[in-house]
């Protein structure tokens, strides 16, 4: 059983949940901060507690639990579906041939069942949050699953991936408030351009393979050098939205500390990767961005709760 669980966690690269989950926590806490007096907020907290017998903090944690379940299951479904759909390409690529499906560790049928189970759990979890999250759950699933098809027809696939992960702060905010607002949308744009930028860096490894298989990506379309320049532009846009969100949300010292750290790590990852030297792509892709996401969210949450 332990080995099976480990294999499925590896299939979906569970550790990569670290990218979007901190931004979901930001969206959730923004909802607590800016809508704690709203009727919609209290309706959401009382959704499964009509008599209000639980303290507000416990009811908020109830919603947070389901937000985390949604984040994990949506991402797991998306990653497993990507592995299922691309298994024949992965088998041809020396870099990806060791993945679970082409290596025969997990069958395609089992991976598809895993996708379906995660989708069902995701939709069920949204039901326990509020109506708007439940009604929008098929839309969210469509976006994150549709990404897996995009490399077949557009080099803008990296942006589609960014859109999928950018739903995290908006979705978590909706879970608390049941309403849209500009501030979480600004954070979503920051995530969109941040993820798109580092996914282009990751795709540098498969430039030649993608061309040979007629798969679409930014590096395959314009080459490594120009792809890195475009990645820099996207990360500049991401930093711009982080700054704009800080100004619009009237954040204080801790936020700006986190924003500065986030911007420095964006710059650092571009110093690690060169068109003729991809040896540090994994460090730039996972380590640097994982640290950036966690540290930035910690500073934002400090600002939300201390100011």
CB-based contacts of 2, cutoff 8 Å, min separation 6: none
pLDDT interval class at 10 (50, 70, 90) = confident
Write out the CATH class of domain 6-306: mainly alpha
Contact in structure between 77 and 122 (CB atoms under 8 Å): yes
Cα atoms found within 13 Å of the Cα of residue 187, Cβ hemisphere only = 32
Kindly report, residue by residue over 71-102, the tens digit of the pLDDT: 999 999 999 999 999 999 999 999 999 999 99
CB-based contacts of 234, cutoff 8 Å, min separation 6: 193, 194, 196, 197, 200
- For the chain, the domains span 6-306
Prediction pTM value? 0.91
Contact in structure between 77 and 111 (CB atoms under 8 Å): no
Kindly report, residue by residue over 148-185, the tens digit of the pLDDT: 999 999 999 999 999 999 999 999 999 988 889 999 99
């Amino acid at each position: 059983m332990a080995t099976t669980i480990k294999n499925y966690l590896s299939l979906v690269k569970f550790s990569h949940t670290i990218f979007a989950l901190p931004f979901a926590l930001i969206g959730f806490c923004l909802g607590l901060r800016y809508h704690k007096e709203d009727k919609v907020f209290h309706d959401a907290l009382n959704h499964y507690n009509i008599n209000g017998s639980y303290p507000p903090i416990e009811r908020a944690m109830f919603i947070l639990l389901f937000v985390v379940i949604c984040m994990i299951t949506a991402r797991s479904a998306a990653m497993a579906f990507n592995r299922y759909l691309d298994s024949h390409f992965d088998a041809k690529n020396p870099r990806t041939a060791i993945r679970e499906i082409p290596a025969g560790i997990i069958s395609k049928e089992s991976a598809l069942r895993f996708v379906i189970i995660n989708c069902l759990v995701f939709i069920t979890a949204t039901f326990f949050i509020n109506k708007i999250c439940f009604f929008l759950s098929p839309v969210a699933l469509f976006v994150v699953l549709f990404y897996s098809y995009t490399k077949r027809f557009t080099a803008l696939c990296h942006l589609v991936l960014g859109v999928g992960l950018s739903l995290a702060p908006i979705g978590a905010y909706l879970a608390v408030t049941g309403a849209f607002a500009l501030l979480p949308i600004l954070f979503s744009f920051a995530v969109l351009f941040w993820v798109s930028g580092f996914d282009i860096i990751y795709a540098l490894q498969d430039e030649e393979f993608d061309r040979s298989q007629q798969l679409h990506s930014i590096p395959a379309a314009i080459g490594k050098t120009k792809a890195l320049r475009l990645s820099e532009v996207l990360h500049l846009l991401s930093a711009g939205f982080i700054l704009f969100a800080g100004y619009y949300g009237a954040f204080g010292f801790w936020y700006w500390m986190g924003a500065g750290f986030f911007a420095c790590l964006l710059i650092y990852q571009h110093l690690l990767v060169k068109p003729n030297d991809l040896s540090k792509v994994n460090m730039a892709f996972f380590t640097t961005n994982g640290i950036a996401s966690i540290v930035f969210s910690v500073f934002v949450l400090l600002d939300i709760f201390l100011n």
